[in-house]
Amino acid sequence: MQFWYFLTALTLISALMVVLSKNPIHSVLYLVFTFFCISGHYVLLNAQFLMAVNIIVYAGAIMVLFLFVIMMLDLRRNSPDSKTNLTKLAGAVVGGTVLVIFIAATRKINLGTGADNAFYNSQTGMVENLGQILYRNYLLPFELVSILFFVAMVGAVMLGKREAGERNF
């Protein structure tokens, strides 16, 4: 339990640092660290497969591409010039609204009193059980998601494709 508090504090601090740090590269690295902390939470929930997939997909592939793109930018020239009063006001309004929505949504949640032993199964998060549920109970949504990804991928390839006679840059 103490470890959970430690990990959660670490997650929140690094997530805050993503927003607060001035250098985009530092932000990305803090975000990678945040993903690691979230993977730690998965381990505490005994969901090792989700932990591994989270690290492979987010920390290992997507964030590397983020870092890749940000490193290509000229950071000094592209310093954000968005600190007018209007944007500050808009940010405060949007942030406050989201806060109110979250409070309203979570106010009536019954957090219960610890794990329910009748339904508790330590093997729930294991890859075998996850596979059984995905391929038996939720087969159609799973396949639809894969079609969605495929369509997105084709779209990205079409956008990135050079037409004949088009200038490269």
Partner 1 sequence: MELTSTVFTAKAIYVGVIFAITLGVAAYSTYFERIFAAFFQDRVGPDRAGPFGILQPLADAVKMFMKEDFIPANSSKWLFILGPCLSMFTALMTSAVIPFGDTIDLGNGVKFDLQGIDVNIGILWVFGIVSLGVYGILVGGWASNNKYSLLGAIRAASQNISYELAMGLSIISILMMTGSLSTKAIVEAQQNGHWNILYQPVGFILFIICAFAECNRTPFDLPECETELIGGYHTEYSSMKLGFYLFAEYINMFVSGAVMATLYFGGYDYPFYETVVNSFGENVANLIGFGALIGKALFFVFVFMWVRWTLPRFRYDQLMNLGWTGLIPIAMFNVVWTGLIILLPAEFNLSSWASIGVAIAGIPVLIVGLFIYHSIAGGKKKKTALAR
Could you list the residues that contact partner 1 (CB under 8 A)?
Answer: 23, 25, 29, 32, 48-49, 51-53, 55-56, 59-61, 64-65, 67-68, 71-72, 126-128
Name the residue nearer to partner 1 (CB basis): 7 or 29.
Answer: 29
Name the residue nearer to partner 1 (CB basis): 37 or 59.
Answer: 59
Closest distance of CB 67 from partner 1, Å: 6
The secondary structure of residue 90, as a DSSP letter, is: H
Q: Which residues of 97-126 are buried (b: 16+ CB within 10 A; e: fewer)?
A: eeeeeeeeeeeeeeeeeeeeeeeeeeeebe
Q: Which residues of 29-47 are buried (b: 16+ CB within 10 A; e: fewer)?
A: bbbbbbbbbbbbbbeeeeb
Closest distance of CB 55 from partner 1, Å: 4
| Helices H / strands E in the chain, number of each | 7, 0
Where are the strands (E) in the chain, listed by range?
Answer: none
Closest distance of CB 64 from partner 1, Å: 5
Name the residue nearer to partner 1 (CB basis): 69 or 100.
Answer: 69
Closest distance of CB 141 from partner 1, Å: 22
Name the residue nearer to partner 1 (CB basis): 15 or 126.
Answer: 126
